[in-house]
Structures are given as C-alpha cells and as structure tokens.
C-alpha cells in the first residue's frame, strides 16, 4: 500500500458506520479502554466499534505514551485493515471476534499518562472580553498579548475523562476584595477549549522550531477547563489561577490524530504586528473545527445550544504554542497536554464561557421551561461538541458532564 492515504474521502469500511458518525474510517482516533477480563489496552475507534490494538499485536500498554511515536504508521495500517477493499480482517471472522468490540462493552480510560498540563489563552476575542469586563473597556488587551501566546501551567493530576461528573468546589470568596469567607463557588463556569497531546520527549535545552512543531503533536481532544470565577477573582493576583481551575479539567477519551485533520486546514487570522521570527509559521496554520456548547439546566427537558464557534479563529496556532513553550529550552515529554484557552468568536453567541455569554452575570440565558442561567447550578449538564465537516466528517464525540452539589 505504498500510496495509501488514510484521509481519502472515498474510503469505506466493512465495519458498519452511521453516515452521521463522528468516527468514519477517515478519523480513527486512538484511546485506552478497559474490558472486564481483558484488562486495559490501546484501541482505535471506528463508528461505534473499538479495534483492540493489543489483540492485533499493533501496540500494547495502558496508556498511549508508548505508541505515540509510531501512531502515524499504526493509523495507516489500521485504515487499510478496516478498508472495505481489503479482505485480511474483513474475511477473518475469528480474528474479528477477538479484536472488535462494541463501544458499549468497554470503558474508556485516560488516554495518556500526562506529564505536564499547560493552558494557553490564545483567542483574541476571549482575552478582549475578559479585559473589557475586568480591566479597561477602552484598552482591554495587555501589551504582551499580540507578541506571545500567553500560557501557564495547570494541574496535570486532575485531568479527567469527560463523562465524569464535576463536584462544585469550595474556596475562598471575597465580596469586597479585602476579606473572604469559605463556601461553595457561586460562579462555576465551563471553558470551551481544544487540547492537544505531545508525541515526543525532548532534552533540556532543546527547542522545537515552529516549522516542525506539528510533527510533535499526537492529536487533539475537546477540553473543558472548569473554572470557579469567584475563587479565581480573589486568588489569582499576582501568580495566576490556581484552585479556581485545579479541581477538574475534562477531556474527550478518543484522541483525533493531527494527521486526520489535515484536510481541514485554514489560514487563521492575520497577526498584526508581525510576530517574532521563532513564531513565524508558513502556510495555513489553523484548523476548521466547528464547536458547540449545549447546556441543559436541571429541570429542563432538553439541552439548548448556547454557543457556536470555530477553532479556525484562534489567533495563536497549536504549532506556535509548541514553539513558544520550548523556546526557553524547557523539555517536554510524550503525553504533555496543552489547552488552547477558551475559544470565543466575535459574536455574542460564539463566546466559549458563561462569563462571556452572560457578561459576568448581567445577561442571563433564558430557557423555554423557565430556567434562567448566569453561572452553572447543581444538576446542570454541559455538553461540548466538535467536528470538522467537509467531504467527510471528523468528529470528537461529546464531552458531557453534570455538576454535582458541593
């Protein structure tokens, strides 16, 4: 299969895949799953079926860290194995019965052993909205923002799978910015983000140039950077967010290979002023991923879409983030996770957090059943969806979790 391209839209699989599925043969995301009696294994998802990579002797291990460096080859091999034109596995009922599992029969696990988790702040519209609300409406963007992808380190140990419900955190809250009380956060929020995992480790002192930075990215997930706005406001000066974010960060379990997103490249916004040479990236640097947030308040019969936006509008690209992250010689490790920062568009219904959608609580969201929301209440369900849509569809699956009482 010398010229085989796993991204070709004409490929069909002999595994049944719903035409609306997020996971056609062109996607083939990697994940870690457990099946009682079979242990924890790496797999690839197609439609509502999981291919057991250990059973096929294509990979092993209870994280994706070990296979990250050869994921491209494995995806190509798996694509051909699942291709309707190839009889190898298609006509081997015994091997199929060992290596294919219905998605409902497995439990997903965290895909990677995560070394460091870094969160960026790369949406111009989000940074502008926050600056307008909390600093200077006339001059909302800090002077450094257009010169470097602002980021900070988050807590790797509380990155969890998206289907785990979220306990409302306690913390210090201050009304007067002088004294504080302890209590459950009253301004719990989501943040719509895309995350990516690194596929290699570097040595201390080594930088990854922007031109090859995408080669260091394994793939992408949807990410919800849960945030307690009231805790954040009191604690974050001068060293940044801490307990307001560290209680949980949710990700989707199936990691979409960056290769699968190649057909959905787009230019991204102009960068003005020009960025420094180490951040200058040639070609289409962004990805056209349609994103939605749905919120179902407790008591409402259905979720409502409260945000529609697109990853293509991000000011700083994933490659620029990787180049910046390593520009000081800091080493990275396979499984390091980077978040994009909240993804907001320019329209009021394209903002990626309740903070922005309700303008810090001033503009509640109204539901047909009577519910009104500024921030998240106990029992609310947040659902984040993402997909690339073109000649075929590459989706991420739903990131869906409920808020539990403190």
Q: Among 35, 68, 37, which Cα is nearest to 51's?
A: 35
Which residues in the 249-278 window bind its own copies by CB under 8 A?
A: 273, 276-278
Residue from 53, 243, 343, 399 touching its own copies (CB under 8 A): that is 243
Binding of its own copies by 94 (CB under 8 A) = no
Binding of its own copies by 175 (CB under 8 A) = no
Where does this chain touch its own copies (CB under 8 A) — which range of 89-97, 100-108, 166-174, 252-260? 166-174
By beta-carbon proximity to its own copies, the closer residue of 326 and 358 is: 326
The reply to whether omega before 238 is within 30° of 0 (cis) is yes
Which residues in the 101-120 window bind its own copies by CB under 8 A?
A: 115-116, 119
What residues are annotated to the active site?
126
Binding of its own copies by 152 (CB under 8 A) = yes
Which residues in the 304-363 window bind its own copies by CB under 8 A?
A: 324-325, 327-333, 336
By beta-carbon proximity to its own copies, the closer residue of 29 and 341 is: 341
By beta-carbon proximity to its own copies, the closer residue of 14 and 152 is: 152
By beta-carbon proximity to its own copies, the closer residue of 79 and 249 is: 249
By beta-carbon proximity to its own copies, the closer residue of 120 and 254 is: 120
Binding of its own copies by 177 (CB under 8 A) = yes
Where does this chain touch its own copies (CB under 8 A) — which range of 4-12, 42-50, 152-160, 264-272? 152-160
**Could you tell me the smallest distance in angstroms from the CB atom of residue 312 to its own copies?**
24
Binding of its own copies by 239 (CB under 8 A) = yes
Binding of its own copies by 170 (CB under 8 A) = yes
| Site residue total, its own copies (CB under 8 A) | 64
Residue from 21, 128, 172, 310 touching its own copies (CB under 8 A): that is 172
| C-alpha–C-alpha distance, residues 11 and 256, integer Å | 18
Where does this chain touch its own copies (CB under 8 A) — which range of 5-13, 52-60, 103-111, 180-188? 180-188
| C-alpha–C-alpha distance, residues 153 and 117, integer Å | 6
Q: What is the C-alpha radius of gyration for the chain, rounded to an integer number of angstroms?
A: 21
Q: Site residues (CB under 8 A) for its own copies?
A: 115-116, 119, 121, 142-144, 147-148, 150-158, 160, 167, 169-172, 174, 177-182, 204-205, 207, 228, 231, 234-244, 246-248, 273, 276-278, 324-325, 327-333, 336
């Amino acid at each position: 299969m010398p010229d085989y391209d796993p991204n070709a839209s004409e490929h069909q699989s002999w595994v049944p895949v719903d035409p609306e599925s997020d996971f056609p043969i062109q996607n083939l995301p990697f994940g870690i799953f457990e099946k009682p009696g079979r242990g924890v294994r790496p797999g690839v998802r197609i439609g509502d079926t999981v291919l057991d990579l250990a059973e096929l002797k294509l990979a092993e291990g209870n994280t994706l860290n070990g296979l990250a460096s050869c994921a491209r080859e494995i995806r190509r091999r798996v694509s051909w194995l699942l291709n309707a034109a190839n009889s190898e596995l298609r006509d081997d009922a015994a091997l199929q019965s060992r290596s294919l599992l219905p998605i409902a029969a497995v439990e997903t696990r965290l895909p990677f052993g995560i070394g460091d988790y870094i969160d960026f702040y790369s949406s111009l519209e989000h940074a502008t909205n926050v600056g307008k609300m909390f600093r200077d409406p006339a001059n909302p963007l800090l002077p450094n923002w257009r010169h470097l992808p602002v980021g900070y380190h988050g807590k790797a140990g509380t990155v969890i799978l998206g289907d785990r419900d979220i306990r409302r955190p306690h913390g210090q809250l201050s009304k007067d910015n002088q004294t504080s009380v302890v209590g459950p956060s009253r301004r719990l929020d989501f943040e719509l983000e895309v995350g990516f995992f690194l596929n290699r480790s570097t040595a201390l002192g080594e930088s990854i140039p922007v031109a090859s930075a995408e080669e260091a990215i394994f793939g992408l997930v949807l990410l919800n950077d849960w945030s307690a706005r009231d805790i954040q406001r009191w604690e974050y000066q001068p060293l940044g967010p801490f307990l307001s974010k560290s209680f949980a960060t949710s990700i989707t379990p199936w990691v979409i290979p960056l290769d699968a997103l190649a057909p959905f490249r787009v230019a991204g916004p102009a960068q003005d002023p020009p960025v420094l040479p180490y951040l200058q990236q040639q070609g289409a640097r962004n990805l056209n991923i349609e994103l939605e947030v749905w919120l179902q308040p407790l008591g409402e019969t259905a979720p409502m879409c409260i945000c529609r936006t697109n990853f293509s509008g991000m000011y700083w690209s994933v490659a620029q983030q990787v180049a910046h992250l390593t520009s000081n010689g800091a080493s990275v490790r396979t499984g390091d996770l980077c978040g994009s920062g909240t993804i907001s568009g320019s329209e009021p219904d394209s903002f990626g957090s309740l903070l922005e959608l309700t303008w810090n609580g001033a503009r509640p969201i109204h539901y047909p059943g009577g519910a009104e929301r500024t921030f998240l209440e106990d029992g609310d369900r947040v659902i984040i969806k993402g997909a690339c849509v073109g000649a075929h569809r590459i989706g991420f699956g739903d990131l869906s979790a409920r808020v539990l009482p403190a």
